Amino acid sequence: MDPSGASIESAGDFTHVRPGDTVVREFYGMLTTLVVTEIDDELIYTGEGWWTFDRRTGFEHDPELGVGWRFGVTISRLVSSQPAEPDRSAESGVAQACEGPQPDESPNWQ
């Protein structure tokens, strides 16, 4: 087993992944960052490229191609995940609204 925890049986545990999180797919040494769009009890779905991955193993799941740990053939795997950043857009809008001209300042209307 390598230091990442990957083995022939598992690329790692991705049961903690939630929609909006970022995952990294490894395909023959090339890394692609994907955003999780949906999860169910078994799979992680990403919107880019229609890839699905097993939540317990991290391996790509594609029954049409016969790819996945259940088929004994793997072509890609997840190598890391990052939780989604909280949406702070509402907070920045409030801060911007509060940064208007102060009572002793005249607005610069041009």
Residue 17 lies in a domain: yes
Six-digit token string for 104: 């002793």
pLDDT in 10s for each residue of the chain, 110 residues: 444 444 445 667 899 999 999 999 999 989 999 999 999 999 999 986 679 999 988 999 998 889 888 888 888 999 988 877 765 555 555 445 445 555 555 555 55
User: In the chain, where does DSSP find H-type helix?
Assistant: 89-98
> Is 60 a member of any domain?
yes
Number of domains in the chain: 1
Question: Residue 110: exposed, middle, or buried by beta-carbon count in 10 A (0-12, 13-18, 19+)?
Answer: exposed
Is 22 within a domain?
yes
Confirm whether 96 is domain-assigned. no
Domain boundaries, position 9: 1-82
42 contact partners, CB below 8 Å, separation of at least 6: 54, 55, 56
Q: Tell me, yes or no, whether 98 lies in a domain.
A: no
The token pair that represents 15 in the structure block: 């049961």
